[in-house]
Amino acid sequence: MSKKRILMAMSGGIDSTVSALLLLEQGYELVGGTFRTFDSIKESCLAKERGCCSIDSIMEAKHMAEQLGFEHHILDFREAFKEHVIQDFIQEYMSGRTPNPCVLCNSSIKWGMLLDKAMELGCDGIATGHYARIVEQGGHFFLATAADTRKDQTYFLWRLSENELARTLFPLGNLTKPEVRRIAAEHGFEKLSKKMESQEICFIPDNDYRRFLSENVPDFSEKVRPGDFVDAEGRKVGEHAGFPFYTIGQRKGLRVAFGTPKYVTRISARDNTVTLGDRDDLLATSLHAENCMFTDVSLLEQNPNVQARIRYNSPAVEARVRVEGSHAEVDFSVPVWGVTPGQSLVLYQDGLVVGGGLICG
């Protein structure tokens, strides 16, 4: 992308701030934009908000843009965020699956709506502080893994289209996190360079999704009732508090005593049962994914060998993929642990994201 006017997504944190610093040094004209996606302050509670989209972080971002000398806009995306991201989060858990809201937010809010706002503000594209790269190859724009593999965020970005990638800049793609901290300190942002990062879901700052569901699902107590823990043969081995309170692979908090550790291996919303088993019961050699997107499906038809990731904090595993429309069947070279319906499958070839989809039960 030539040096033009860019809408810089500002969070008030170190990554977007350093991204802005780098782009300014490269001669880009910046416009700052910070989106408000949720409102965690209720009329009965005046507690301080936390998280990347809170009032505090929004004001920090605005102040940072002013310090760096470019205009800043607060973008109210709360209605769309609730409709697309929060409702999907609730619906998935209430269906017995475990969603990843960041994936959906990136595609529908952070890019979908932010690019529209960029056009409205006369910008030619957007920039974010994500750790990822964009590679143009064979007439296609590919998402590519970041130089800092420990911070790489391509897993959360697989749903971005080529058109969106063509209008995006990732200034941190070739940097490591220590380098980003050093750049911040060198530019006088010493306190920011040492700031700890937030890991929780932005709209659940206390990280208690169970509380969030109970407060946001109408008639929750009627819809979610205690049910049976069962073993692989369907025999009752205990009682659970309600199927949405559990995730695949969960071991702690089961409140059922066994001679050996037990793990959640299956969740059934239909009959309100949660299956428990041994750790090895969670090993799988294949999976099915739906709602898939592929950058260039011919690459996978010519060469079905991929590196596949089934969650953000798991390494990619060698696999073979068979594509059928928007569906994919993946066979792993070695068993993988904890395949979880609702999570994302992301496929790579030589560091390029060639596709992704949602894991089915």
pLDDT at residue 197, rounded to an integer:
76
Long-range own/partner contacts, residues 61-65 (CB < 8 A, 24 or more apart) = 61/10, 61/11, 61/12, 61/16, 61/32, 61/34, 62/10, 62/32, 62/34, 63/12, 64/10, 64/12, 64/17, 64/20, 64/32, 65/8, 65/10, 65/20, 65/30, 65/32
pLDDT tens for 92-115 read: 999 999 999 999 999 999 998 999
Whether 268 contacts 243, CB under 8 Å: yes
- Which one of 53, 123, 202, 292 is the catalytic residue? 202
Does pLDDT of 61 surpass 60? yes
Confidence of residue 43 (pLDDT cuts 50, 70, 90): very low
Mean of per-residue pLDDT scores for the chain: 93
pLDDT at residue 335, rounded to an integer:
98
pLDDT tens for 121-133 read: 999 999 999 999 9
Residue for token pair 């990619």: 316
Rounded Cα–Cα distance for residues 288 and 303 (Å): 19
- Structural domains in the chain? 5-193 (3.40.50.620), 225-277 (2.30.30.280), 281-359 (2.40.30.10)
Rounded Cα–Cα distance for residues 196 and 201 (Å): 15
Confidence of residue 57 (pLDDT cuts 50, 70, 90): confident
- Which one of 53, 102, 105, 123 is the catalytic residue? 105
Percent of the chain scoring above 70 in pLDDT? 95
pLDDT tens for 320-335 read: 999 999 999 999 999 9
Q: Which residues pair with 187 in a beta bridge?
A: none
pLDDT tens for 264-277 read: 999 999 999 999 99
pLDDT tens for 65-100 read: 999 999 999 999 999 999 999 999 999 999 999 999
Q: Is 53 a catalytic residue?
A: no
DSSP structural state of residue 305 = E
Confidence of residue 350 (pLDDT cuts 50, 70, 90): very high
Does pLDDT of 40 surpass 70? no
Q: Is 45 a catalytic residue?
A: no
